[in-house]
Amino acid sequence: MKTIEMTNYSVSQKGYPDLAKVCRQYNYKNVVVIGGKRALKSVSEKIKEALKDTEINITNEFVYGDECTMTNINNLSDKKDVQDADVIFIVGGGKAMDTGKILADKMNKGVFSFPTICSNCAAATAIAVVYNDDKTLSHYALIPAPSHMFIEVSVIAQAPSEYIWAGIGDGLSKQVEVEFATRNLELDHTASMGLSLSKSCQEPFLKYGKQAIEDCNNNIATDAIKEIALNILVSTGYVSNLTNQPEYYYNSSIAHIFYNTSTSIKREENCLHGALVAFGVMVLHAYAENYDELEKIAVFNKSVGLPITLEEVGLSEKDLVSMAEVAPNTTEWKSSVEGLSKEKFIEAIKEADKYGRDIKKIEKCA
């Protein structure tokens, strides 16, 4: 029997007016709040205000750490206030969300998500990215999605704009990766729904992305930010849940192979996940020899400051052989129905990089 779980969600301009009502629907009495240090500072008082004068008790709040690792998850599970809670409120970005989801699954507890940034779709997905203590990629964990997500537009507008910028870069991959992973395949109903929904994901980024970044720079909670937040947190999150099932994985492909292999390269400064994935989308189009889309994404990336060259993500051609050697270890590579080529992967990266460098040359000469 297949069970598909999709996260319910509430959207507000400010605060969490539905929080107590939703807790009562699940009969949750004791909650623990876990998140990033900055995220807790931005929303914990709003959570307390929403639950004030109710029968719902907050046992405590904890900073999750700075990475989704099993060490951090195990440390949290040892805390009595976490053990005594009925539900985990996880607040912050993707690494906090993934930590909370795995923790809730391990302890058989409910989980609500409170994204304070929209750098990825982790607040609504049934998958988590787990890292080793040295920050290298460990594995993907398949776990239940949060049962409810609370999106507050003003909180996302107040966050540093680099996060919505990175979220756009990551979100740009959803449509093209699902299309690439499923091409020429007979799909079941669930995967077909995921593919259909994925085809609605790219256009909002191209339409609202630049304006949303500008509005976030000015900390204004606008319709553009709301549209981008919903596209990242809901649309791409739902696609992930529909295309990531025990019997298949169509949720990501070449763009995330590029990201995952890049974590094996020691660099002075690590880029945000979404920035690397944005260049990875260009790599995917080069690999698929879809040059019209390569041009479209390269031009868009350039217009909002997302990377279009290897240099911009702290890599060079000398890193590519090492990246290609670890590529077959990634979930995306193993899950690909059509065989992927390490040589073609390297050539696609070089081609995307050359395309980006050529755009920069033309701009300089103009």
- The H or E element that residue 332 is part of is helix 331-335
Tokens of 139: 């594995």
pTM of the model: 0.91
Q: What is the pLDDT of residue 215?
A: 97
Residue 144 DSSP class: P
Residue 112 DSSP class: E
Q: What is the pLDDT of residue 366?
A: 57
Tokens of 344: 């073609």
Residue listed under structure tokens 């046992």: 59
End-to-end CA distance of the chain: 60
Rounded to whole angstroms, the Cα distance separating 136 from 120 reads 19
Tokens of 136: 């290298």
What is the CB neighbour count within 10 angstroms for residue 317?
Answer: 11
- The alpha carbon torsion through 261, 263, 264, 267 (nearest 10 deg) reads 130
Q: Which domains does the chain have, with CATH numbers?
A: 8-158 (3.40.50.1970), 174-365 (1.20.1090.10)
Which stretches of the chain drop beneath a pLDDT of 70?
1, 364-366
